[in-house]
Copies of this chain bind each other. A is one copy, B any other.
Amino acid sequence: MNSGKRVFHNNEDCPVRNVVAQIGDKWSLLILFALVDGPERFNALKSRIEGISQRMLTQTLRDLEREGYISRTVYPEVPVRVEYALTELGKGIVKPLYELVLWADKHQPTIERARKTYDKHKK
């Protein structure tokens, strides 16, 4: 329907929207990739992901946990230790994400050039 074109963009159940809503923010991808090498503690993540505030780290971790991408484990030691790790689902999404990153990395020079051309052309 709709003159033969798949309309992907208008509905609540649009798969593109769902991707964007879940990981299309500034920090989710960084956090997921920060966990590929294994579980990390809160403050370890904070220092690995340069520029993130505790506020955003907490909030994004909660969101990712809610969607099922990561798990949160509290070890009741003193002082308390909280570890975040990728779930199976989280490990799963990292694969296509990694393809994307590889692509972007490969084409980075092209983009760099495009940017310069644009900036020079437009006053």
Taking Cβ atoms with an 8 Å cutoff, the residues of A that contact B are 5-10, 15-20, 22-26, 29-30, 33-34, 37, 48-50, 65-68, 89, 92-93, 95-97, 99-105, 107-108, 110-111, 113-115, 117-119
Q: Are A68 and B110 in contact (CB under 8 A)?
A: yes
Q: List 15 A-B contacts (CB under 8 A).
A: A5-B37, A8-B33, A9-B50, A10-B48, A16-B30, A16-B33, A18-B108, A18-B111, A19-B29, A23-B24, A25-B26, A92-B103, A93-B107, A96-B100, A99-B99
CB contact under 8 A between A89 and B68, given known A10-B48, A17-B30, A49-B9: no
Q: How many copies does the complex hold?
A: 2
